[in-house]
C-alpha cells in the first residue's frame, strides 16, 4: 500500500510535467492544425533560461520561473512569425516538416552554442522531504504538482473567460468566419503560441529543479511523450491534454513499478495505438466530420 502510494506520487509528479507540455501541443493544434514538434525544445530553452538566470542574474526561484515563461512566450511568437506564418497557406505537411526542422535547429543550435554536456541545475530551493503515512513527498514534487495545476486552471480561465480566449475558440472553429467578425487572425495565433510556449518554459524550469540535470537534447523524449498525451486526451482539447499527461505519467510509473522497465516506452506507444484504434478522437475529442 505504501509502495503504491509512493508510486502514485511519482506518477503524478511526472504526469504534471507531461500535462504542462501537452497543453502547448493541443492548443496550437486546436488553432492552426499544426503539430508543433519544436515544442519540446522550447521546454529545453526554458530550462536553460532558468539555469542562466539563476546563475548569472541571481534570480530567486519565482523570478526565474516567471522570466522563463516570458522568454519562452516571446520565443514561441518569434518562431511562429519566422517559421510558420509564411507557410500559413501551404499544405499542412509543409508546416509539419518545418516544425521538425525548427526542432533540429534548436537542439543542435544549443549544442553548438553551449555544448552538449549535461549540466547540473542550480539548486534554488533546498529539498525538504515530508513523511506522511510512510510516503515520502519532497517539497519540489508538491511544487511541481501545484504549479502545474495552477497554470492549467489559469489557462482554462483565459480560454473560457477572456476576450482573447473567445477569439481563440472562434479561430479554432472556423478561421475565415472569425476574420469576418473582426478577429485578428495573426494576433490570435501569436497569442496561442505565446501561451503554449510559456507553459513549456515553466515546465522546463520545474524539471531543471526537480531532476537537477539539463542538456540540449532534453526536450526530445518528453516532447514526444507529451504529444502522445495530447493525442490520448483528444488533440485540440485542453482538459484532455491535462488528463492525458497524468495518464501517461502514471502509466509509465506503473510499468516500471511492476518491473518491466525495459518496456515503459513501448507500453506508452502501445496505449497510443489502442486509443487511436478504439477512440480515434481521443478521450475528450469530438469526432467531427471533415468538410469536403
Partner 1 sequence: MLKKWEQRSMKVAALGVTALALAGCSSAKSSSNQGNNPGKTIKIGVNMELSGSAAGYGEQQKQGIQLAVKKINKNGGIQVGKTKKKVQLVIRDNKTTNNTAASVAAQLVNNDKVVAVVGPATTNAGTAAIPNMTKASVPTVSPSATDPDFTLQKGGAVQKYVFRACYQNDFQGSSAAKFVTKNLKAKRVAILTDNSSDYGTGLTKAFKKSYTGKLVSSQTFQEGDKDFNAILTSLKHKQIDAIYAPGYYSEIGLIVKQARQAGIQAPIVGSDGMADAKLAQIAGKQNANQVYYTTPFSTKAAASNPVASKFMSAYQDKYGSTAPTFSALAYDSVYMIKKAIENEGSANSVKIANGLAKLKNFKGTTGTITIDKKHNAEKTIAIEQLTNGQVTKTYDVDQ
User: Torsion over CA of 44, 211, 130 and 55, rounded to 10 degrees?
Assistant: -70
Which grid coordinates belong to 226? Answer: 507529451
The only residue of 63, 164, 170, 220 in contact with partner 1, by rule CB under 8 A: 220
Q: Which stretch binds partner 1 (CB under 8 A): 74-82, 153-161, 236-244, 257-265?
A: 257-265
Residues 6+ apart with CB under 8 A from 153: none
Helix (H) or strand (E) holding 167: helix 163-173
Which residue, 117 or 287, is less far from partner 1 as judged by CB? 117
Q: Which stretch binds partner 1 (CB under 8 A): 59-67, 73-81, 186-194, 206-214?
A: 206-214
If binding is defined by CB under 8 A, does position 280 make contact with partner 1?
no
If binding is defined by CB under 8 A, does position 10 make contact with partner 1?
yes
If binding is defined by CB under 8 A, does position 221 make contact with partner 1?
yes
Cell numbers 525495459 correspond to what residue? Answer: 262
Q: How far is the CB of 135 from partner 1 (least distance, A)?
A: 10
Which residue, 162 or 221, is less far from partner 1 as judged by CB? 221
- Say if CB 39 and CB 196 are below 8 A apart: yes
Q: How far is the CB of 87 from partner 1 (least distance, A)?
A: 26
If binding is defined by CB under 8 A, does position 125 make contact with partner 1?
no
* Interactions with partner 1, residue window 103-122 (CB under 8 A): 108, 111-112, 115-120
If binding is defined by CB under 8 A, does position 213 make contact with partner 1?
yes
If binding is defined by CB under 8 A, does position 143 make contact with partner 1?
no
Strand partners, 137: 130
If binding is defined by CB under 8 A, does position 55 make contact with partner 1?
no
- Say if CB 193 and CB 24 are below 8 A apart: no
Q: How far is the CB of 7 from partner 1 (least distance, A)?
A: 6
If binding is defined by CB under 8 A, does position 22 make contact with partner 1?
no
Alpha carbons within 13 angstroms on the beta-carbon side of residue 284 total 17
The only residue of 70, 105, 164, 257 in contact with partner 1, by rule CB under 8 A: 257
The total of other beta-carbon atoms located within 10 Å of residue 51's CB is 21
If binding is defined by CB under 8 A, does position 173 make contact with partner 1?
no
Q: Which stretch binds partner 1 (CB under 8 A): 38-46, 190-198, 251-259, 272-280?
A: 251-259
Strand partners, 214: 119
Rounded Cα gap, residues 276 and 271, in angstroms: 8
If binding is defined by CB under 8 A, does position 265 make contact with partner 1?
yes
Distance between alpha carbon 143 and the CA centroid of its chain, in Å?
17
Give the count of residues interacting with partner 1 (CB under 8 A).
Answer: 41
Q: How far is CA 48 from CA 54, 114, 201, 224, in A?
A: 10, 10, 9, 20
Cell numbers 516500471 correspond to what residue? Answer: 256
Q: How far is the CB of 11 from partner 1 (least distance, A)?
A: 7
The only residue of 62, 78, 127, 153 in contact with partner 1, by rule CB under 8 A: 127
Angle, helix 238-257 to helix 264-278, in steps of 10 degrees: 140
Residues 43, 113, 224: CA angle, nearest 5 degrees: 30
Phi, psi angles (nearest 5°) of residue 53: -70, -35
Give the footprint of partner 1 on this chain (CB under 8 A): 3, 6-7, 10-11, 13-14, 108, 111-112, 115-120, 123, 127, 129, 136, 138, 207, 211-213, 215, 217-218, 220-221, 252-259, 261-262, 265
Amino acid at each position: 500500500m505504501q509502495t503504491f502510494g509512493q508510486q502514485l506520487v511519482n506518477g503524478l509528479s511526472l504526469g504534471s510535467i507531461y500535462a504542462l507540455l501537452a497543453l502547448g501541443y493541443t492548443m496550437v493544434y486546436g488553432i492552426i492544425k499544426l503539430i508543433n514538434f519544436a515544442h519540446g525544445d522550447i521546454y529545453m530553452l526554458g530550462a536553460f533560461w532558468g539555469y542562466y538566470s539563476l546563475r548569472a542574474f541571481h534570480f530567486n526561484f519565482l523570478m526565474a520561473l516567471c522570466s522563463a515563461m516570458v522568454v519562452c512566450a516571446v520565443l514561441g511568437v518569434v518562431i511562429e512569425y519566422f517559421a510558420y506564418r509564411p507557410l500559413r497557406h501551404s499544405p499542412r505537411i509543409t508546416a509539419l516538416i518545418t516544425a521538425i526542422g525548427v526542432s533540429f535547429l534548436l537542439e543542435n543550435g544549443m549544442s553548438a552554442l553551449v555544448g552538449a554536456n549535461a549540466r547540473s541545475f542550480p539548486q534554488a530551493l533546498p529539498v525538504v522531504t515530508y513523511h506522511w503515512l510512510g510516503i515520502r513527498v519532497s517539497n519540489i514534487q508538491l511544487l511541481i504538482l501545484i504549479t502545474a495545476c495552477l497554470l492549467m486552471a489559469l489557462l482554462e480561465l483565459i480560454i473560457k473567460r477572456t476576450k482573447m480566449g473567445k477569439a481563440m475558440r472562434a479561430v479554432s472553429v472556423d478561421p475565415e468566419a472569425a476574420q469576418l467578425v473582426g478577429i485578428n487572425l495573426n494576433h490570435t495565433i501569436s497569442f496561442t503560441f505565446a501561451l503554449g510556449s510559456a507553459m513549456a518554459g515553466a515546465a522546463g524550469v520545474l524539471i531543471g529543479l526537480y531532476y537537477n540535470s539539463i542538456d540540449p537534447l532534453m526536450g526530445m523524449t518528453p516532447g514526444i511523450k507529451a504529444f502522445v498525451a495530447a493525442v490520448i486526451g483528444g488533440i485540440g482539447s485542453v482538459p484532455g491534454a491535462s488528463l492525458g499527461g497524468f495518464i501517461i505519467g502514471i502509466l509509465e510509473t506503473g510499468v516500471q513499478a511492476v518491473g518491466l522497465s525495459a518496456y515503459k516506452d513501448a507500453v506508452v506507444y502501445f496505449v497510443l495505438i489502442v486509443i487511436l484504434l478504439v477512440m480515434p478522437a481521443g478521450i475528450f475529442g469530438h469526432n467531427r466530420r471533415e468538410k469536403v
